[in-house]
Structure 1
């Protein structure tokens, strides 16, 4: 059967449109241009961490933020005994807010598996968690595995038990679910040892890609040697990436639960998760009586507690 030339051209055009479903909206750049796109949060830590979040000028003078070769460096104070307000760190919140999108973070380094630390890369509404929260990278202390978590302000969201390679840690996304003490959420743990901290860094870094639509929220992680060519070419096509590490879909009305989210980087210390888990850690508990004691008195322990960012890009569907 012969096809008319115009039909063949149309089929080819559809193929190209399908492969180019996402267009670049925001490229956060490097160095000063990167920091221009973020607000530096300097209020007390909402998670009760032993941390002193400092502003841009103080962080630059202290060397806590800087360009480091082709990467953007976000670190913590690893030189000084901390005072009573906590160890100096930064918490960056994007000025831009998002509703849906494909967020692709290329990391040369993430904060290592260090006792006392609680690093995160996440998205959240202006007054968390009233507009929802998506935790893309998160862990505490010496933990080897990344946990992807959603937090909702309304009940009725839970994890569907299929369509992802990770393992379910918690099913109910409601932040005030029974017994959660206001820290509830639905979590999926990446089972690979190179998904977080020291293991991720030893593998040479990699890419986290988060797709947020009306139907689902999905997260992939790629090692630096296995990043899809379409991501490198700024023409990302999630349909080609295989099974995600995490997928949240099913009973949840995503559009009503997640709105106007900002991108956040931070490293805090101790607090309601890392601090409460201190005594249960066979590695951390012998180091000091409390998490705060250790974080206050051992600055050199935190030399690996930094983000080394190759790029951060956000795409939207055409």
Structure 2
């Protein structure tokens, strides 16, 4: 090999060496951190909504000042606590139990949303907590319920709600949960939605907490909406180190494909809430074992404040990555 050829080869090697990290960087940036919500900025990034409950629950959502004064929302170390009034005995025909509902100031179209949850509201008669996303002009811009359940349930239910005409191929490509509700996510005005109930008995409520809490990850693209759940001890390392890679996560709990997601889902805000009774927990009260304690959901919630001492969220963080 001539000296000139040697120099040319060396130049190519150096060029390749400098290009390689660039390629790695591009791959790592496939899911770039867009927003991080935690105890350092929670109340600057969420609005505390003192509104009438759109699901007709026996609840009084209070404003930020009231919530803070009552200890219903606060930092607890490096975590965010959001709970309900656990001391007041109420009139079942009067205002409902005080609680907190928050909505992100920012909305999203597409994204990877990863919620690290130390404690979710327990599986208690009358309780109906949810972690979800929703767009304006409901149901036309969509709703994605990521964590939701009622009463004594311990199996999480993921549900899509939107306008008529979104009939996804649920489970295409594999999912661990099983479908519930409508085939059309917008049938009946979007109220029932198309749900997937988890196959994991520790995916929600009291069992979720006894299992050490966990992480929910929701991937929303033009072609699919997928949701995964892990107990804290099983969270993938690439989530923990801030470089999430959904292709490595295996089968999701819920896997929706085949709907025109860009037409049906857009500009969705993140919401946490805890309501009571209402359109779901109240509607199924009579068919649950809770009815043997009290025939009225509202009366039970009004008269049993001590039953809701573990009805609270304790959040480590919510991170949103662009896709």
- SS of residue in 1 equivalent to 2:170: coil
| 2:316 paired with 1:315 | no
Distance 2:211 2:281 in 1: 24
Partner residue in 2 for 1:164? 175
Q: Is the 8 A contact 1:82 1:88 kept in 2?
A: no
Partner residue in 2 for 1:291? 297
**Displacement after TM superposition at 1:174 (Å):** 3.1
Select the residue among 294, 298, 307 that pairs with 1:301: 307
Distance 2:307 2:169 in 1: 37
Following superposition of structure 1 onto structure 2, how do residues 224-239 of structure 1 map, counting pairs within 5 Å? Answer: 224-239=232-247
Distance 2:177 2:266 in 1: 25
Distance 1:136 1:182 in 2: 16
**Displacement after TM superposition at 1:92 (Å):** 0.4
**Displacement after TM superposition at 1:93 (Å):** 0.7
Partner residue in 1 for 2:264? 257
| 2:217 paired with 1:209 | yes
Distance 1:207 1:10 in 2: 35
Partner residue in 1 for 2:141? 131
Q: Which residues of structure 1 form unaligned runs of 5+? A: none
**Displacement after TM superposition at 1:181 (Å):** 7.0
Q: Is the 8 A contact 2:125 2:151 kept in 1?
A: yes
Following superposition of structure 1 onto structure 2, how do residues 37-116 of structure 1 map, counting pairs within 5 Å? Answer: 37-83=45-91, 84-116=94-126
RMSD in angstroms over aligned alpha carbons? Answer: 1.8
Cα distance change on mapping 1:123 and 1:181 into 2, 3 Å: closer
- SS of residue in 1 equivalent to 2:144: strand
Q: Is the 8 A contact 2:164 2:190 kept in 1?
A: no
| 2:27 paired with 1:21 | no
Select the residue among 270, 273, 288 that pairs with 1:266: 273
Distance 2:239 2:184 in 1: 30
Cα distance change on mapping 1:181 and 1:254 into 2, 3 Å: closer
- SS of residue in 2 equivalent to 1:17: helix
CA shift digits 1:63-95 (9 cap, x unpaired): 111111221000000111134110000110111
Across the two proteins, how many residue pairs are aligned to each other?
310
TM-score (norm 2): 0.91
Q: Which residues of structure 2 form unaligned runs of 5+? A: 1-8
Q: Is the 8 A contact 1:110 1:201 kept in 2?
A: yes
Bigger fraction of residues in helix: 2
TM-score (norm 1): 0.93
Q: Is the 8 A contact 2:163 2:190 kept in 1?
A: no
Distance 1:132 1:61 in 2: 34
Distance 1:36 1:127 in 2: 25
